[in-house]
């Protein structure tokens, strides 16, 4: 079976809620690595997946304040390949009892590992994601792009019409949204502009300089009507999460962040219509409600959202789909300041995929952990108890709910 990165998840049952916690997070120097790749000074070599993973791992272990010898399983997640478990454990300087290569994008790995911990397969797991997206010159469209899946995929099927790329998916959603709800490009621009303002509060965000709506309108198009600023970054990096039983997490140095709920939902037919016309609303609603029910929370309890802003319009889709604002009102919600500090739901508060880093969903988690611990600094959301992340692609959604541990 093709490795689609979608991992088997334990069912969204209340009895599985808050049984597993995140106790440590580590990330690489996204901004520094990105600038180096752009300048390519003499003798520059792109960082290897090994070294990126090692840095994220060391930082996560230090963050958790644990002895690395207590890690009894390593879970490796690579989108475009990386060292095998034996090589990586040697590189990290640990000798866990178990090591798994376990999917790639953030569509299910945390619930999957939670299930393994609950099932007694391991007590403390280091989950590592590493990607060399940018230094490898990867393009997300064009002739050579194939998803590698057996069935027809929207990523390559429409080549004869010149239609491919991730950005094109978001562009046809945006056009229809504009037409249907009477919005314009300059209205949508408030969404990436707000996320960029958030990045200004994050030293490790790749793009931190604020822009105005005039500058947004003057920026080049990627796929019209979407501008450069509407589309996520492409960068190299790694993320490490240290995950353990909720019980053990209570003995660590910092406030544990409990994995409280999860779910998933897929478009099963008429993908183009559901994607463009409904903007995955049925899937986002269904998965969101199930994850909330598992966590024993309502959407009103969620005080922070890290959405998959692979494109600005898709963040609007998620704000509306999860129920933070009614259908067709997401852009107005952003213009009204409701997705920033002091608004209804501070969203992608560290700069998201459009301005901070693009780690295929994994980049959402470290910020959630920082926020729930109260380590958000100038971007801290006051009185936060519950956060929501969502890996939302063109045809599926994987929300996870996290709560501040006692």
Partner 1 sequence: MAEKRPPRTTGPGNDEFWQGCAKGELLIQKCGKCGHRPWPVVQACEQCGSDALMFEEVSGKGKLASWCTFERPYYGELMPVPYDTIVVELDEGPWFIANPLGFSNSEAQLGMPVKVSFIDCEDTQGAFKLPVFEKA
Residues that bind partner 1 (CB under 8 A): 139, 141-143, 151-152, 156-165, 167-168, 171-176, 179-180, 220-226, 268-270, 272-273, 276-277
| Rounded-to-integer distance, Cα 375 and Cα 60, Å | 15
69/272 with CB nearer partner 1 = 272
| Rounded-to-integer distance, Cα 155 and Cα 360, Å | 17
The sign of the torsion formed by the CA atoms of 320, 324, 329, 335 equals negative
| Rounded-to-integer distance, Cα 365 and Cα 361, Å | 8
| Rounded-to-integer distance, Cα 289 and Cα 388, Å | 12
**Minimum CB separation from partner 1 for residue 178, in Å?**
9
**Minimum CB separation from partner 1 for residue 312, in Å?**
14
> Collapsing DSSP states into helix, strand and coil, what is residue 254?
coil
Q: Kindly report the number of other CB atoms within 10 A of residue 119's CB atom.
A: 9
**Minimum CB separation from partner 1 for residue 402, in Å?**
34
14/142 with CB nearer partner 1 = 142
CA-derived radius of gyration, the chain: 20
Say if residues 397 and 291 touch (Cβ distance below 8 Å).
Answer: no
99/222 with CB nearer partner 1 = 222
33/278 with CB nearer partner 1 = 278
**Minimum CB separation from partner 1 for residue 64, in Å?**
42
66/316 with CB nearer partner 1 = 316
| Rounded-to-integer distance, Cα 360 and Cα 325, Å | 25
| Rounded-to-integer distance, Cα 166 and Cα 164, Å | 7
84/270 with CB nearer partner 1 = 270
**Minimum CB separation from partner 1 for residue 265, in Å?**
16
**Three-state secondary structure string covering 112-146:** HHHHHHHCCCCCEEEEEEEEECCCCCCCCCCCCCC
> Collapsing DSSP states into helix, strand and coil, what is residue 95?
coil
Say if residues 44 and 234 touch (Cβ distance below 8 Å).
Answer: no
**Minimum CB separation from partner 1 for residue 4, in Å?**
16
| Alpha-carbon distances of 34 from 27, 107, 359, rounded to whole Å | 14, 25, 13
**Minimum CB separation from partner 1 for residue 262, in Å?**
26
141/323 with CB nearer partner 1 = 141
């Amino acid at each position: 079976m093709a490795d689609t990165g979608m991992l088997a998840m334990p069912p969204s049952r209340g009895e599985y809620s808050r049984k597993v916690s995140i106790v440590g997070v580590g990330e690489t120097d996204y901004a520094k690595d990105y600038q180096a790749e752009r300048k390519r000074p003499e003798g520059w070599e792109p960082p290897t997946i090994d070294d990126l993973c090692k840095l994220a791992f060391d930082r996560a272990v230090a963050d958790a304040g644990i002895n690395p010898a207590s890690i009894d399983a390593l879970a490796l997640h690579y989108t475009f390949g990386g060292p095998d478990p034996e090589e990586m454990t040697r590189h990290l300087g640990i000798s866990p009892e178990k090591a798994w290569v376990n999917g790639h994008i953030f569509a299910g790995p945390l619930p999957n590992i939670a299930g393994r911990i609950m099932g007694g397969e391991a007590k403390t797991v280091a989950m590592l994601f590493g990607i060399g997206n940018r230094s490898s010159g990867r393009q997300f469209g064009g002739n050579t792009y194939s998803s590698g899946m057996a069935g027809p995929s929207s990523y390559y099927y429409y080549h004869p019409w010149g239609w491919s790329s991730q950005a094109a998916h978001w562009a046809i959603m945006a056009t229809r949204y504009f037409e249907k709800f009477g919005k314009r490009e300059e209205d949508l621009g408030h969404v990436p502009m707000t996320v960029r303002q958030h990045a200004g509060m994050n030293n490790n965000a790749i793009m931190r300089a604020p822009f105005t709506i005039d500058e947004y309108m003057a920026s080049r198009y990627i796929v019209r009507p979407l501008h450069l600023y509407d589309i996520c970054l492409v960068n190299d990096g790694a993320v490490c999460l240290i995950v353990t039983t909720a019980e053990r997490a209570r003995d660590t140095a910092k406030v544990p962040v409990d994995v409280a709920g999860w779910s998933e939902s897929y478009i099963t037919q008429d993908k183009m219509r559901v994607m463009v016309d409904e903007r995955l609303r049925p899937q986002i609603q269904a998965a969101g409600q199930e994850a909330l029910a598992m966590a024993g929370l309502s959407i009103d309890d969620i005080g922070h959202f890290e959405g998959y802003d692979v494109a600005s319009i898709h963040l609007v889709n998620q704000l509306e789909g999860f129920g933070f604002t009614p259908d067709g009102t997401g852009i107005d919600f952003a213009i009204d300041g409701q997705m920033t500090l002091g608004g209804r739901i501070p969203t992608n508060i560290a700069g998201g995929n459009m301005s901070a880093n693009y780690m295929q969903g994994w980049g959402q988690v470290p910020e959630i952990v920082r926020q729930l611990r109260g380590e958000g600094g100038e971007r801290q959301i006051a009185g936060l108890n519950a956060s929501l992340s969502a890996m939302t692609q063109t045809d599926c959604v994987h929300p996870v709910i996290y709560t501040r541990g006692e």
